[in-house]
Structure 1
Amino acid sequence: MAAATFSDEPGLFRSLTARPAVLAALVVFGLILVAALLAPWISPADPARMSVRARLSPPFGGAYLLGADAFGRDVLSRLLFAGRVSLSIGLGVAVVSTALGILIGLAAGFFRRLDAPLSRLIDAMMAFPDILLAIALVAILGGSILNVILALSIVYTPRIARIVRAATLVIRELPFVEAARALGSSNLSIMAWHVLPNIVSPVTVQATFIFAYAMLAEAGLSFLGVGVDPSIPTWGTMVNEGRQYLDQALYLILFPGIAISLAVLSLQLIGDGLRDALDPRLAKDV
């Protein structure tokens, strides 16, 4: 069974860009990523600088392109710096949950003795609604960036683990794995060199979705007041702060809301494109 990795897909980028929706998503997310990375150099002002005179200044009409918040802070600058934090949280959750999910899924799928208890653990965790479990974990751990990443990683790890387990159950019975076992390869070697390369594609696609889910979940936690410390700008905290002035300054939640929507939607479209491009059964439709 050949591993469906990026190196085996010379036309992957061409397949992705052949779909207008996926190409647009790549462009949009690329612009968001570049803007967040270059925030210290392209932001027009210090995101923490306050000005009483500029309080709730409307957008497009003065010194503040996207207006100012209730403390007179530049919304555009805060939006750019908040993007760095929100994207970092999403990426951190995707990386940690993927690593943990691969370990748990490989153990459950490869070792028969561990399958039952680990599968029950995965099912039990997935029985809880994501946001409720995240709220409980953040309440226990505390509201910091690292704790939010850890809490959301725990929430989304079962998604990866279940996919990896299902794939491993199939791969471990295939002839090339039996041949490797007959040649004396250790279980660790078989998992590393024969099983893991063959689950790269589905795991990559699911990690892309988790990236989007984590950003949306962080915004939800911040909106409920249990996310990242309010002193740290994220798109979620900006929406939470702006809801108090909904009738006076709609733009305070409009702009971060648009940023969240564009980032999440573009990641979802990219994930769909990757799934179609990496799945041989769907490649003909791309």
Structure 2
Amino acid sequence: MAAASFATGNASFLKILLRRKAVLAGVIILTVITLAAIFAPFLSPYTPGKLSLASRLQAPSGLHVFGTDDFGRDVFTRLLYAGRLSLTVGFSVVVVSAILGVTLGVLAGFFRRLDTPIARLIDAMMAFPDILLAIALVAALGPSLVNVIAALGVVYAPRLARIVRASTLVIRELPYVEAARALGVSTPKILVRHVLRNLMSPILVQATFIFASAMLAEAGLSFLGVGVSPTVPTWGTMISQGRQYLDQASWMTLFPGLAIVLAVLSLQLVGDGLRDLLDPRLAKDI
């Protein structure tokens, strides 16, 4: 049964890719970015921190595909390694926010006594703009990769918690959950077998959007100088360093900016495809 369901899901997703060229484009772009980040050492003969003042601010050429920055570092190489960090941050933030958000959402939706205090906590956290709350948390914790992931995980957890809470409120009242209670099934088993299993669809869809938002937020924090160390190549740091050379070396900001746009756009397109696949109301039209 599981194999048949997996095959059916794959077939449906292939139908989405064939019918919706935008989703297909998103999958291709995301795959290319991921593979380029993974195989960065093999795609460029340079290292991201190698300085060469004699080669500073060189325009794109056969020797330096995307040109060089103000320290003579190869922009293409730094772009690849920055992609590694952005993907790592995005994935890690999804994991942290999923652990926090799913836990809070399930507790609030399944246990009536916990609903009001957790719901008020979620509303209070969502009252702050994401980037401002992230800046405050990183400033309190200190600029580092781990702290950026922790801060963004806390920032985006309420988004997931609200969706999980709303879905849990509905699942809690379904007949098979009531039947499990009547049969004396323990609460942890009900949560795992009946609640969490039926929450996977909205969690997966929301995870792709959180992934994109986390990558964009990390770039914003790095641009403002409150993210990871300035010595670590990130797309946000590269844009920040290149803005003072816009008139003479526009490639320093053009290529990192384009990378951010493509990465975020591809994740949004993939998320739309997953939503169409996993939502029963939309799946009928596939």
What TM bracket, shorter-length normalisation? over 0.9
What is the SS of the residue equivalent to 2:185?
coil
Calculate the aligned-residue CA RMSD, in Å.
1.3
* In 2, Cα distance between equivalents of 1:10 and 1:87: 24
Measure how far apart 1:114 and its partner are. Answer: 0.5
Residue 65 of structure 2 aligns to which amino acid in structure 1?
L
Superposition deviation, residue 76 in structure 1: 0.6
Q: What stretches of structure 1 move > 2 A for 4+ residues in a row?
A: 5-13
Are positions 1:114 and 2:114 aligned together?
A: yes
C-alpha distance after superposition, 1:12-69 (max 9, x if no partner): 3213312111001100110000000001221221111100100111112x52111111
Say whether residues 1:282 and 2:282 are aligned partners.
yes
CA contact (8 A) 1:177 1:194 kept: yes
- Residues 12 and 278 of structure 1 are in contact (CA less than 8 Å); yes or no, is this contact kept in structure 2? no
Partner of 1:185 in structure 2? 185
Alpha carbons of structure 1 residues 77 and 10: separation in structure 2 relative to 1, 3 Å: closer
CA distance in 2, matches of 1:25, 1:229: 30
| Mapping for residues 166-245 of structure 1, pairs under 5 Å | 166-245=166-245
Deviates more, 1:10-19 or 1:129-138: 10-19
Q: Which moved more, 1:245-254 or 1:112-121?
A: 245-254
The structure richer in helix per residue is 2
Partner of 2:59: 58
Q: Which amino acid aligns with 1:134?
A: A
Structure 2: distance between partners of 1:140 and 1:109? 31
1:127 paired residue number: 127
Q: Does 1:11 align with 2:14?
A: no
Q: Percent identity?
A: 64
Kindly provide the amino acid, as one letter, of the partner of residue 32 in structure 1: I
Question: The residue matched to 1:173 in structure 2 has which SS?
Answer: coil
| 2:43 aligned partner, one-letter code | I
Aligned residues, how many? 281
CA spacing shift, 1:97–1:8, aligned 2, 3 Å: farther
Give the corresponding residue for 1:21. Answer: 22
Letter in 2 for 1:120: R
Summarize the Cα distance change of 1:8–1:285 in structure 2 as closer, same or farther, 3 Å threshold.
closer
Q: 1:176 to 1:8 in 2, by over 3 A?
A: farther
Alpha-carbon deviations, 1:79-114, whole Å to 9, x = none? Answer: 111100011001111111012111110000011110
Q: TM-score, normalised by structure 2?
A: 0.95
Cα contact 1:15–1:277 (8 A) shared by 2: no
- Which TM-score applies when normalising by structure 1? 0.95
Say whether the 8 Å CA contact 1:228–1:237 is kept in structure 2: no
What's the offset of the Cα at 1:7? 7.2
Residue deviations 1:140-163 (CA, integer Å, cap 9, x gap):
011111110100011000000000
